[in-house]
Structure 1
């Protein structure tokens, strides 16, 4: 499994590798994927949950109790519940978002997919994500797993990072480049 470990790094990577290996061993990769997608959505939608996860003001016991209540309400698998418990007990719940991203990287590698990170000014629709996935797949010749984030400061357009390549077609970058070009005209 050494090849998996080289894909991710840091604290979140270690937790993601541990979760991935346990999920692989217990044949629960897809169940954990679904659970983590729910948690990732909750982190984006619920300010209370995000605060519980990231704030150092909560004790590990409070974080564990809170995350277990969320896990129960979201009907998460036992493995994911235990994972949340370990993060809370070790005061590493603040790495949840990056651990989720690292797990998805590991899963993509396992499936032979290429990971792409897309940042847009507003949330992309399901149709837009499907079209982007098809376009990227035809460009690289392999399946592509997209992680989409929103950054309203882009104003419009997208930034796409695929492996070591990055394409920035955001309106913010275009305006910044225009401002730099205009300074040279004066």
Structure 2
């Protein structure tokens, strides 16, 4: 049914993107795409149909926007696993976040946690950053963000980890 609606819109001149994950649906849509191309080649003012899969949508979203994690706090934490560093030391962890109001959150690695203040970012559509120093071990580390019951972290977007004498070494 989705393909039929896309065809009607394309025949009326619209350019349509159809999300299809199954093989038979993609095959049927490809046949309609070719038919529309023939109509355009014959001078008909038709639009077009493009196909996208869920995987393509997620890859493009991850490459162009960051989707923040909400609901961190109230006794729950968010784990950034696989933060690899070359040597033991203190690292700058820059946390990108969104928040309509000021919040506090605990950031840590291993048993060392630090309470961090997050000023309002300018609203839920504006990303801001804060940077804290975190002690990381040589190799693979886990950085966590969390809060105590009844208290919430801001919406967390991503972290970037850098040592004092090296550029960015990891992003999660």
TM-score normalized by structure 2?
Answer: 0.22
Q: Is the strand fraction higher in 1 or 2?
A: 2
Q: Is the helix fraction higher in 1 or 2?
A: 1
> Higher Cα Rg: structure 1 or 2?
2
**Structure with more contact order per residue of length (Cα contacts < 8 Å, sep ≥ 6):** 2
